Amino acid sequence: MTSSLRYTLTRLLRLVLVLAAVAVVAFSLAKLSPIDPVDAYLGPDVARVGPEQRALIAEKWGLNQPPIEQFSHWARNLLSGDLGFSMTYNAPVAEVLASRVLASLPLMGLAWLLSGLLGFVLGILAGAYSGSLLDRVIRVYSFVLASTPTFWLAILLLVMFSVSLQWTPVCCAAPPGMLADEVSLWQRLHHLLLPLATLTLLGVAQIALHTRAKMVEIMQSDYALYARAQGASRLDIALRHGARNAALPALTVLFASIGELFGGSVLAEQVFAYPGLGRATVEAGIRGDIPLLLAITLFMTLLVSSGNMIADLLYRLVDPRMRQAETLEWSQP
Amino acid sequence: MNHAVAPQAMNSLVIRSNNRISTLMLTALGLGGILLVALGSVLIGDRGITMDFSARMLAPSWQHWFGTDQFGHDMLARTLHGLSLSLNVGLITAALSTAIAVVLAMLAATGGRWADAVVSFLIDTTLGLPHLMLLILIAFALGGGTTAVIIAVTLTHWPRLTRILRAEILQVRSAEYVQASRQFGKSWWYIGRHHLLPHLLPQTLVGFTLLFPHAILHEAALTFLGFGLEPGKPAIGTLLADSMRYLMAGNWWLGLFPGLGLLLLVLSFDAIGNGIRKLTDPRLSEV
């Protein structure tokens, strides 16, 4: 267990290093951008502002200082909990981030859970009856959906259910013109339905394919053959032996898929004009709102890297060979 | 291809068709689809670029298979132009990304402990960010446009292939013939060029082909969000972003066909990539 503990500690240290590296890289990228933050802030008013006023704004934001100075200033503020001010939403970044995460959480969380559960069940079924019609259908579905552009699927669902059938609303997280506390739970769910369906339909594919591959392997194992010889049905074996063995690999894939899920939600939120974290990312990028863009970047890095870390730890937990492989790798010349 | 002797096939209750033939056919189909796009976009010339106000917003018909848009552009022609644009961007980015992956994997596997640590830290950092987020950041830093998209997609697609290749090299590295070569006093550079690279070629080729679909999809996504190719170009992302304004009026064809074209192009590359893999790896062609 001590080796596992050491491994976990090294991974935590690495997470901190990755966060620091991402902070440096993201800040440099933002500084590289040809979009002038003052221009972006002023927008159409740019013609009415003289050079003295521009210089004043630049000074107030510390833009006249060298980049290294700006970075250390930003990093110090960040560590003391001050994320800066978002000019796109005219509010502190921390507030924007909190409200956006709150809006995206039900979407991403539910999509994550549903695609994990559905994908796992489909993968188990496909693997248990590999070669059957059911398996073919699930496999073709997964292969095709894994190649489908997220935003296109979102557009198709929008055209079908919101425009043609008019079952679902065409945009946003709530009916237009309503205050946040007036919106009922049912209305929220109603607006969540299509973005959620988009992300779930896509998320299922990966998990199903991985679980299926594992299940096929299990069904060909000696213990499955033995169980079969004793008269157990395929479904019996799948549920009693397969599901447990396939669960951890599926979980691993699920934890490693958070980054992709976020990417999907950026695109889905864009199509459905859903005011979540993804839409804030796009807005921040288009308007040159650097403090917000950097804050979202760091937040997502923390989330995704933690997911990756959990996935790796789970992997070691499932497969003891992974632990040995590391020590073996470098012992050879 | 006698499946009766394959122990794995004993378990399966269905009689499979000849897998090699069907794999070959799928691969050919994928290749055909890509050739169709490449040739089609050349053959149609500037159709779909010039406006025709007498034919605005027409639903799909025999004259315009994919319908027309608000400027009277033929959507079939426009989709073909968009796909060939995707093809070009995909070709450049997949090639560059694969090159990065090969170089880094070689470095990691033969450069000693420190090189390996640096490369795996690079991989961790790149994979630690959500892919689309990193794409947006790089495109933002470069101010958008075709070059920005190419650089952004290139710089973000190498990690997975690097991991696969690194593992592959580590495996070959411990093989006896490599050890023997080492004992004869050959340098790692020599071994890399003469023993490792030839071994990596099939993997690299498959990796390159399978990188394509990812690169194309991400280019389209970036363009769709407004960070990518210039709005004037008929890229698939632009076509779909433009279609958003007219979908509510019931002009469904503007949204359906460009995306369908993109999906088919991506599936074509998948078919080719999986085909090469199955045909070059005898263990896979049986299953």
CB < 8 Å to B142, chain A: 32-34
For residues A216-227, give the mean pLDDT. 88
Domain count within chain B: 1
Interface check for B109 against chain A (CB to CB < 8 A): the answer is no
Query: How many angstroms separate the most distant Cα atoms in chain A?
Result: 87
**Sequence-ordered alpha helix ranges (H) in B111-158:** 112-128, 131-141, 146-156
B5 secondary structure, DSSP code: G
Q: Does B17 touch chain A (CB under 8 A)?
A: no
Chain B residues whose CB is inside 8 A of the A14 CB are 121, 124
- Check whether B275 has a pLDDT greater than 90: no
State which residue of chain A sits closest to B13, comparing Cα positions: A131
ipTM at complex level? 0.84
Rounded CA separation B138/B132 (Å): 10
Q: How confident is the model at residue B8 (pLDDT cuts 50, 70, 90)?
A: very low
Predicted confidence at residue B64, as pLDDT, reads 74
Give the residue on B whose Cα is nearest the Cα of A331: B174
Domain presence at residue B148: yes
Give domain status of residue B233, yes or no.
yes
Tokens of A295: 């804050």
Q: Is residue A69 part of a domain?
A: no
In a domain, B181, yes or no: yes
Task: Kindly state whether residue B69 falls inside one of the protein's structural domains.
Answer: no
pLDDT digits (tens, 9 = 90+) for A73-121: 888 888 888 888 888 888 888 889 999 998 899 999 999 999 999 999 9
Is A104 among the domain residues? yes
Interface probe with B: pick from A155, A233, A292, most Cβ of B within 10 Å = A155
Q: Which residue has the higher pLDDT, B144 or B90?
A: B90
Measure B255 CA to nearest chain A CA, in Å.
7
Which region among A95-109, A210-224, B7-21, B71-85 has the lowest average model confidence (pLDDT)?
Answer: B7-21
For B74, phi and psi rounded to 5 degrees?
-75, 125
pLDDT at B43: 80
Instruction: Give start and end residues of each alpha helix (H) in chain B.
Output: 7-11, 19-43, 75-110, 112-128, 131-141, 146-156, 159-173, 176-183, 188-191, 197-225, 236-247, 253-280, 282-286
Q: Binning pLDDT at 50, 70 and 90, where does residue A325 land?
A: low
Q: How many domains does chain A have?
A: 1
Residues of A in contact with B179 (CB under 8 A): 333
Write out residues 134-153 of B within 8 Å (CB-CB) of A: 136-143
Query: Is 60 exceeded by the pLDDT of residue B170?
Result: yes
d(CA B287, CA A184): 52
- Under 8 Å CB-to-CB from B106, ≥6 apart: which residues? B165, B169, B192, B196
Residues of chain A with Cβ-Cβ distance to B141 below 8 Å are: 28-30, 32-33
Residue A180's domain comprises: 3-33+83-331
- Please tell me which residue, A296 or B58, carries the higher pLDDT value: A296
Contact list in A for residue B131 (CB cut-off 8 A) is 259-260, 263
* Range from A7-11, A40-44, A70-74, A286-290 carrying the lowest mean pLDDT: A40-44
- Across A176-180, A325-329, B177-181, the highest mean pLDDT is recorded for B177-181
**Distance between CA atoms of residues A188 and B104, nearest Å:** 47
Place of tokens 């009766």: B4
Residue numbers of B between 39 and 98 with CB closer than 8 Å to A: none
| DSSP sequence for A28-79 | HHHHH-SS-HHHHHHGGGGGG--HHHHHHHHHHTTTTS-HHHHHHHHHHHHH
Q: Which residues of chain A from 193 to 232 reach within 8 Å of chain B, CB to CB?
A: 219-220, 225
Residue B100 has pLDDT above 70, yes or no: yes
The CA distance from B107 to B123, in Å, is 13
Check residue A322 and give its pLDDT.
Answer: 61
Residue A47 carries which DSSP code?
A: G
Task: Give pLDDT tens digits for A151-200.
Answer: 999 999 998 888 888 888 877 777 776 766 777 778 888 888 899 999 99
What's the domain range around B244?
A: 20-50+76-285
Confirm whether A64 is domain-assigned: no
Residues 6+ apart with CB under 8 A from B223: B149, B229, B235, B236, B237, B238, B241
Helix (H, G, I), strand (E, B) or coil at B48: coil
Cβ contact, residue pair B263, A297, below 8 Å: no
Read off the pLDDT of residues B52-85 as tens digits, 9 standing for 90 and up. Answer: 767 777 778 777 777 777 777 788 888 888 899 8
The amino acid present at B276, given as its one-letter code, is I
Q: Do A22 and B221 touch (CB under 8 A)?
A: no
Comparison of pLDDT for A109 and A6, the residue scoring more: A109
Judging contacts by C-beta atoms under 8 Å, the chain A residues touching residue B14 are 131-132
- Which sign, positive or negative, has the C-alpha torsion B200, B205, B209, B215? positive
Residue B107 pLDDT > 70: yes
Mean pLDDT of A214-237: 88
Cα separation of A240 and A222, whole Å? 15
pTM: 0.84
* Tens digits of residue pLDDT in B184-224: 888 877 887 888 888 888 888 888 888 888 899 999 999 99
- Mean pLDDT (whole number) for B236-259: 85
The structure tokens listed for A255 are 């934890």
Which residue is associated with the tokens 């050739």?
B35
Tell me how many residue pairs between chain A and chain B have CB atoms under 8 A apart: 164
Q: What pLDDT sits at residue B42? A: 80
Structure confidence at residue A1 (pLDDT): 54
pLDDT of residue B162: 92
Residue B1 belongs to a domain? no
Instruction: Kindly state whether residue B39 falls inside one of the protein's structural domains.
Output: yes
Question: Which pLDDT band holds residue A70 (cuts at 50, 70, 90)?
Answer: confident
Would you say residue B1 has pLDDT above 70? no
B-chain CB neighbours of A132 within 8 Å are 14
Mean pLDDT score of chain A: 84
Asked if residue B135 belongs to a domain, the reply is: yes
CATH number (domain holding residue B260): 1.10.3720.10
- pLDDT band of A320, cuts 50, 70, 90: low
Tell me how far apart the alpha carbons of residues B137 and A285 are, in angstroms, rounded to a whole number: 8
DSSP-derived letter for residue A221 is S
Q: Which CATH number belongs to the domain containing residue A239 in this structure?
A: 1.10.3720.10
Q: Is A309 on the interface with B (CB under 8 A)?
A: no
- DSSP assignment, residue B74? B
Is the pLDDT assigned to residue A220 strictly greater than 70? yes
Residue B281 belongs to some domain of the structure: yes
Which of A105-114, A245-254, B276-285 shows the lowest mean pLDDT across its residues? B276-285
Give the highest mean pLDDT range of A53-57, A167-171, A199-203. Answer: A199-203
Instruction: Give yes or no for a contact between B214 and B89, defined as CB atoms under 8 angstroms apart.
Output: no
Residue B20 has a pLDDT of 76
